[in-house]
């Protein structure tokens, strides 16, 4: 019998946790298959199986799941990440993700590998979370335990490298606030990062901010948000507002994102008061590239004017 | 202190609560086109619809002189728990000086909760405080009991007699001050409803529709275009998944309320609570099916996080349980004609399915 083929959708938290999953499943002798990069065709398939009102990242996710099924994987890995901090959750759509997929795509129930994750911090390595899955895959507890340890230290190393940023103060620095799956999916944001880099702009994101700074900023807030990644954006966002190195902030938000509608308003009001240029870029399945370019160029021109 | 509060469902209960503590009340006007326009203008584009309507209500109440807003908070993961803070931020930004009294769950912050309670209690004694809470609870129960009968009988009263009694009942309930009076009014209204010459048809000729979804759009009739009255006028009986007294039960007595049982019924589709009432919504569909209802209407504000998760399961549930489900998404652009057309078409389908099933039973 060959290795078990496990599919990981290249969407949502893939962009944050992939190094962890990669190490974990290779240690468990499972062959990982990552879905193809997001494409028009793939997204269209996703849209077909999702309700029209839901946010784009979920439509993208469903597209990736279908892509994996097409590639003939044994299982698609869809964990239910409930919380990665005490009493703080993820968006309801993450909490109901496996339920949603199971009930949206016909005959997929036996192809889903899922388990619940409740953790105290960003690390997903809590042993207990994986017990049910280990039984299902026939993996010994020892093997699982060590694989988790290795995956965790690998991931922690990876996070540390993300923190090392050098800001060149001579050129413009723009902070991109947005969830990993909106910032790093080149299709969904029309290659925003490349466009900015071509204009010679430094980019910072929330992963580059030390988690202690983020937590301090969140503590200053009257009531923390209910969603952990939104809290991270909030902490980083307020840090950027105060930081003189940051010339402007672009808030990248997906159409219909609920948490963004709350955080976005806070940041917008406070950016206005802090006199920090702030722009919201809304992305959806119909965004046109030229529209996006025009807006970025105008924003960058404004920043250049302000800096000189 | 001139108190106002969000307009949701039978507002006379909230008004009575503050009245019993001798506060001055600025009644929030029933949400109208103007309220919605005002709210939409001053809210973030993707805030959910209830947020915008409540924003409009607040602005109207502030214009009428309110200086204190009492509302509920929460700890997520549904956005509604954050409404208070964001409303405050936006109103502050406009330069409106209003106090917010936001009731979060007591276990989140005991001292803050007690401080808020004392503000409401004002000069009354703790004895009076408990007595008043009890009155409010009984009042909510009594009103809901009556409304459940209304929602059933109104289907067979095309000339509006039931509506007349219901309207008068609300006025009577508004005058009460003691528990005895509540009981008196409740008995009287029930007797009035009984005395109407309305004959419920035989069981097989009745059509029952359940309404599920997000609490605000289900309970606030001016926002859902009086969907219950409309359904009744088509000759079908209605029951909602949310009543104020049930909400009180679930919030303060979570283990005694009905909701644990309801949630368990939807286990197969949705494993854990994901915020809002998504789990109850799904459980309710199963419950309505078990109780012989003929169709379910799912209402949600555009972009509602938890209800989007439940909505994505509706097709499968409808197929599994063989019960027609209509999902309506409500926002500032919904038009009455739209809802009417869809409801009418839906009811045709429900009737057709019902007669199909009856034929099947008859012919084996």
The pLDDT value given to residue A60: 95
The closest of A288, A283, A228 to A250, measured between CA atoms, is A283
The tokens describing B329, both together, are 């998404």
Q: Return d(Cα B249, Cα B252) in angstroms, integer.
A: 6
The pLDDT value given to residue B22: 93
Question: In sequence order, what are the residues at sequence separation of 6 or more whose Cβ sits closer than 8 angstroms to the Cβ of residue B362?
Answer: none
Residues of A in contact with B274 (CB under 8 A): 92, 95-96
Q: Cβ of B75 and A226 within 8 Å? A: yes
Q: Which residues of chain A have pLDDT under 70?
A: 1
Within 10 angstroms of residue A44's Cβ, the number of other Cβ atoms is 12
Average pLDDT over residues B104-129: 88
Q: How confident is the model at residue B253 (pLDDT cuts 50, 70, 90)?
A: confident
A255 sits in the region (left: phi over 0; alpha: psi -120 to 50; else beta) called: beta
How many angstroms from the chain centroid is the CA of residue A247?
Answer: 24
Q: Return d(Cα A83, Cα A228) in angstroms, integer.
A: 7
Q: Cβ of B308 and A54 within 8 Å? A: yes
Torsion of CA A51, A52, A58, A64, to 10 degrees: 80
Q: Cβ of B270 and A96 within 8 Å? A: yes
Q: What angle (nearest 5°) sits at the alpha carbon of residue B186, between those of residues B185 and B190? A: 115
CB pairs under 8 A, 24+ apart, for A186-189?
A186/A37, A186/A38, A187/A37, A187/A38, A187/A39, A187/A40, A187/A43, A188/A38, A188/A43, A188/A56, A188/A57, A188/A60, A188/A254, A188/A283, A189/A252, A189/A281, A189/A283, A189/A292
Q: Are B281 and B307 in contact, with CB atoms under 8 Å apart?
A: yes
Average pLDDT, whole number, for chain B? Answer: 92
Of the residues B50, B76, B275, the best mutation for testing chain A's interface (the one with the most A CB atoms within 10 Å of its CB) is B76
Q: How confident is the model at residue B106 (pLDDT cuts 50, 70, 90)?
A: confident
Secondary structure of residue B8 in the 3-state scheme: coil
Q: Cβ of B309 and A99 within 8 Å? A: yes
Residues of A in contact with B316 (CB under 8 A): 103-104
β-bridge partners, B22: none
- Residues B119-149: b if buried by 16+ CB within 10 A, e if exposed: bbeeeeeeeebeebeebbbbbbbbbbebbeb
The tokens describing B270, both together, are 């949705």
Q: Are B119 and B223 in contact, with CB atoms under 8 Å apart?
A: no
Q: Cβ of B302 and A53 within 8 Å? A: yes
> Tens digit of pLDDT for each residue in B321-364?
999 999 999 998 888 899 999 999 999 999 999 998 888 888 86
The pLDDT value given to residue A76: 96
> Tens digit of pLDDT for each residue in B145-192?
999 999 999 999 888 899 999 999 999 999 999 999 999 999 999 999
The closest of A175, A151, A150 to A240, measured between CA atoms, is A175
Question: CB burial class (10 A; 0-12, 13-18, 19+) of residue A9?
Answer: buried
ipTM: 0.88
**Chain A CA closest to residue B48:** A258
Query: Is the pLDDT score of B105 beyond 90?
Result: no
The closest of B317, B308, B312 to B268, measured between CA atoms, is B317
The closest of A21, A35, A29 to A2, measured between CA atoms, is A29
Q: Are A173 and A246 in contact, with CB atoms under 8 Å apart?
A: yes
Average pLDDT over residues B37-58: 94
Residues of A in contact with B303 (CB under 8 A): 53, 256, 258, 261
**How far is the alpha carbon of B307 from chain A, nearest alpha carbon, in Å?**
9
Q: Cβ of B77 and A99 within 8 Å? A: no
The pLDDT value given to residue B358: 86
Question: In sequence order, what are the residues at sequence separation of 6 or more whose Cβ sits closer than 8 angstroms to the Cβ of residue B194?
Answer: none
Question: In sequence order, what are the residues at sequence separation of 6 or more whose Cβ sits closer than 8 angstroms to the Cβ of residue B192?
Answer: B165, B169
The tokens describing B254, both together, are 């979570």
According to DSSP, residue B27 is labeled P
The pLDDT value given to residue B364: 65
Q: Which residue has the higher pLDDT, B298 or B76?
A: B298
Residues of B in contact with A104 (CB under 8 A): 312-313, 316
The pLDDT value given to residue A1: 54
Q: Return d(Cα B309, Cα B304) in angstroms, integer.
A: 9
Question: In percent, how much of chain B has pLDDT > 70?
Answer: 99
């Amino acid at each position: 019998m060959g290795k078990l083929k496990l599919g990981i959708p290249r969407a949502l938290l893939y962009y944050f946790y992939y190094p962890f999953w990669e190490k974990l499943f290779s240690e468990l002798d499972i062959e990982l298959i990552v879905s193809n990069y997001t494409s028009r065709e793939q997204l269209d398939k996703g849209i077909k199986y999702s309700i029209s009102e839901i946010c784009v990242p979920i439509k993208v996710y469903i597209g990736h799941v279908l892509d994996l099924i097409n590639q003939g994987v044994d299982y698609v890995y869809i964990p239910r990440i409930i919380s990665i901090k005490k009493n703080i959750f993820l968006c309801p759509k993450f909490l109901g993700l496996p339920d949603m997929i199971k009930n949206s795509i016909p005959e997929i129930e036996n192809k889903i590998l899922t388990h619940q994750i409740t953790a105290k911090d960003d690390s997903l390595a809590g042993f207990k979370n994986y017990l049910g899955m280990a039984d299902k895959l026939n993996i010994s507890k020892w093997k699982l335990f060590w694989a988790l340890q290795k995956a965790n230290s690998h991931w922690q190393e990876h996070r540390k490298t993300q923190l090392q940023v050098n800001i060149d103060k001579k050129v413009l620095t723009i902070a991109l606030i947005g969830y990993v799956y909106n910032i790093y999916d080149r299709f969904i944001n029309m290659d925003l990062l490349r466009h900015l880099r071509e204009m010679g702009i430094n980019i910072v994101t929330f992963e580059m901010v030390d988690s202690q700074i983020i937590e301090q900023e969140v503590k200053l807030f009257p009531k923390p948000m209910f969603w952990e990644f939104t809290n991270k954006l909030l902490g980083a966002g307020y840090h950027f507002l105060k930081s003189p190195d940051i010339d402007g902030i672009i808030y990248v938000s997906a159409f219909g994102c609920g948490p963004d509608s709350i955080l976005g308003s806070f940041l917008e009001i406070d950016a206005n008061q802090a006199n920090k240029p702030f722009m919201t870029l809304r992305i959806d399945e119909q965004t046109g590239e030229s529209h996006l370019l025009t807006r970025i160029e105008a924003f960058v021109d404004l920043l250049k004017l302000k800096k000189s | 202190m001139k108190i106002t509060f969000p307009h949701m469902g039978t507002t006379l209960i909230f008004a009575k609560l503050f009245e019993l503590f001798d506060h001055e009340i600025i009644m929030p006007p029933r949400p109208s086109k103007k309220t919605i326009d005002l709210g939409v203008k001053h809210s973030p584009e993707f805030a959910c619809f209830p947020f915008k309507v409540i924003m409009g209500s607040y602005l109207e109440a502030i214009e009428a002189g309110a200086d204190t807003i009492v509302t509920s908070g929460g700890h997520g993961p549904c956005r509604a728990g954050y409404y208070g803070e964001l409303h405050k931020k936006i109103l502050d930004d406009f330069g409106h000086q209003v106090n917010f009294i936001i009731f979060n769950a007591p276990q989140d912050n005991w001292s803050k909760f007690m401080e808020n309670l004392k503000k409401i209690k004002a000069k009354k004694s703790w004895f009076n405080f408990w007595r008043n809470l009890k009155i409010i609870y009984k009042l909510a129960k009594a009103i809901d009991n009556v409304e459940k009968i209304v929602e059933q009988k109104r289907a067979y009263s095309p000339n509006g007699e039931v509506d007349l009694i219901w309207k008068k009942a609300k006025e009577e309930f508004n005058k009460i001050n003691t528990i005895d009076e509540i009981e008196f009014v409740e008995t009287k209204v029930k007797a009035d409803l009984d005395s109407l010459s309305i004959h419920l048809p035989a069981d097989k000729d009745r059509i029952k529709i359940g309404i599920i979804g997000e609490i605000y759009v289900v309970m606030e009739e001016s926002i859902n275009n009086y969907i219950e009255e409309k359904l009744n006028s088509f000759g079908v009986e209605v029951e909602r998944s949310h009543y104020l007294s049930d909400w009180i039960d679930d919030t303060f007595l979570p283990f005694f309320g009905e909701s644990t049982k309801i949630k368990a019924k939807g286990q197969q589709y949705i494993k854990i609570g994901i915020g809002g009432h998504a789990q109850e919504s799904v459980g309710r569909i199963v419950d309505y099916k078990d109780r012989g209802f003929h169709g379910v209407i799912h209402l949600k504000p555009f972009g509602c996080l938890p209800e989007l998760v439940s909505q994505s399961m509706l097709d499968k549930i409808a197929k599994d349980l063989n019960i027609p489900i209509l999902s309506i998404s409500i926002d500032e652009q919904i038009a009455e004609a739209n809802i009417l057309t869809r409801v009418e078409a839906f009811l045709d389908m429900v009737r057709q399915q019902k007669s199909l099933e009856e034929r099947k039973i008859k012919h084996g």
